[in-house]
Each structure stands twice: as structure tokens, then as C-alpha cells.
Amino acid sequence: MTKRAIRYLVLGVAAATAIATSVTLAATPDAAAVVEQGQGQAQRSAQGNANGQGPQLVCGTRDLDDATADAVEDYTRRILQKSPSGFLTSSRVIPVFVHVIHSANGSGGVVTSQQINAQMSVLNEAFAGSSFSFTLAGVTNTNNDAWYTAGPNTNAERQMKTALRQGGSNTLNIYSNNMGGGLLGWATFPSSYASKPLMDGVVILYSSLPGGSAAPYNQGDTGTHEVGHWMGLYHTFQGGCANPKKNGSGDFVSDTAAERSPAFGCPVGRDTCTGARFPGLDPIENFMDYTDDSCMDRFSAGQYARMDAQWTAYR
């Protein structure tokens, strides 16, 4: 049996638990937050369904402008030239702490241990072609209404991470909550660790874990996508078609085809950057696009190389 087949067996079992817990949400004091998020999802679903693409939820990790991205690349090269053998840690086994945030009465945002284990399996499968692996180091559960709906760059996010983050530069902290706003998650980049170590980590929508209710984003690849950012990867559509993939511009990976805009659903054959300068179809199967979880199944060799360089420089 393939890893993919095992993953889907796990999802089926976890889904029953997720459905049971979702029934409780409507009666909780934080139901307004759930309804607000549901309305945002409904609007995106209507738009996505009109295009034959399904619901459209997005990543909250902001794309860097060209000047900032270039500056980060220049700085990374200087670090690697000075310390090519490693900056902070050489281990490629990444300890993971999962912080499950619930509403104040404890009923919202329920994530089971089975779902967490399935998420770890999804990560290890997705990154199997790299030199990295992930091991669960611990799980915390916290009841806090403000943190339960915390979004990116908010006081609630800062308070949550300051209170809960564990480990050093090589430790992955994953926070699950009910962020709303049409977001599936967000992450920090490796280059941000030195200046803001307590903010380092990944936040994901609790219902995006394997077996959750955020279909078609409920097979765990929101986690894969956001951990990709945490490992130093940009969106495949960063830079669009404005610049050809010369010297690694755009997402700074030469073997991911240029893409004008994010793809939703699973639009096979999509090609938004055409002409001799832009060979290849849009990389809709890549984990760093916005397609459905069932559509995503790969990182490229160039992305693996970028992860290695970013880890050596910053982790």
C-alpha cells in the first residue's frame, strides 16, 4: 500500500471525529466568529464554483516585493559564503510542537491526536524527497477566545506565540486556530528568525488538518504549504510573468514554471505565462500554489535545494 493510500485511510477515520466536533460549534459563545468565517468562505465558494474551481481560501503569508526579496537573497548568499557548513544547527530532524487553540469554553477548534499524527505523516510524505524529516515533540491545548480567532500581525498572535512557543531556531511550532478572514494559514520565513524569534512558526486553520471540515483543503496540505514557507519557499506565482525565471527571479527557484496568478481547484493544462521566455505549464501540482489538497503532490528539486540553503543560513 502506498503512502498516499495510507494517508487517505487515516483521513476517512479522522473525518468522522471532525464532523462530530463541528456540530458543537454552532451552540458555543464564539459562534459569531464561526458564522463570520462561514460567510467569507461562502462568498469565495460562490466565486470558485462559478469558475468551476470550488472554494477559494488563501494563504496569509505575504509575497515579498522585488526589492525585499532581492535583499534577502543577497544577504543569504553572504551568510553562506562566510559559513558554508551551517549557521545555527546541522540536524535535519525537525522537532515539532503543535499548539491547539480552542475557544474559551474549550469546545471550538477541537483537533484529535489522530489528526495531529496524520498531519505529521502528511508532512513527512511531502518532504520525503528532501533531507528533512519531522518528529512530534509535544502538543499543548489552550482555551482563549482572542487567540482562537487571531489573525496575522495582530496583538493576539503576538501574545499567543510569546506564551506558547518552544524550542530554538530549528524547532517548528504549529498553531491551529479558527482565524477566519478567508485564510487557511500563514508562516514566517527563516530570514525573520534572528530579529523575531518568538514569532517564528506556522499558523493553520484547525479544520484544514487531515479529516477536518475545510474541504477541499482538509488533507493536511495547508500544513505542507505553510511549512514550505517556514523552510524558505515562496509562492510559485510570486513575481508573476513580469520577469522570466532568469537567475532564479520570481520565487527564486529555476525549475518551477512562471505563473501569472494563483491557481485554484485543479486546472489541468493551465498556462498563464506564455511564449518562448516562459516554458512549461503552470505548476498547479506544486505545494506552493493555491490548488486543492488533492491536486498538490510535489516540491521540485530546486525547491529542495533552496530549503537546504535557507536552513544552513538561518536555522
Residues 6+ apart with CB under 8 A from 115: 14, 17, 18, 209, 210, 211, 212
Find all residues with CB under 8 Å of 181, minimum gap 6, and list them.
Answer: 37, 40, 60, 151
Which active-site residues does the annotation give?
226
Instruction: Give the whole-angstrom CA distance, residue 94 versus residue 134.
Output: 5
> Would you call 253 exposed, middle or buried from its count of C-beta atoms within 10 A (0-12, 13-18, 19+)?
buried
Q: Cell 525585499 appears where?
A: 68
Check if the beta carbon of residue 191 is closer than 8 Å to that of residue 76.
Answer: yes
Please state, in angstroms and rounded to a whole number, the distance separating the CA atoms of residues 4 and 132.
19
Radius of gyration of the chain measured on its C-alpha atoms: 19
The dihedral formed by the CA atoms of 30, 32, 37 and 42, expressed in degrees to the nearest 10: 140
Cα 218 to the center of its chain, rounded Å: 12
**CA distance to 63, 274, 307, per residue, from 73 (Å):** 14, 27, 13
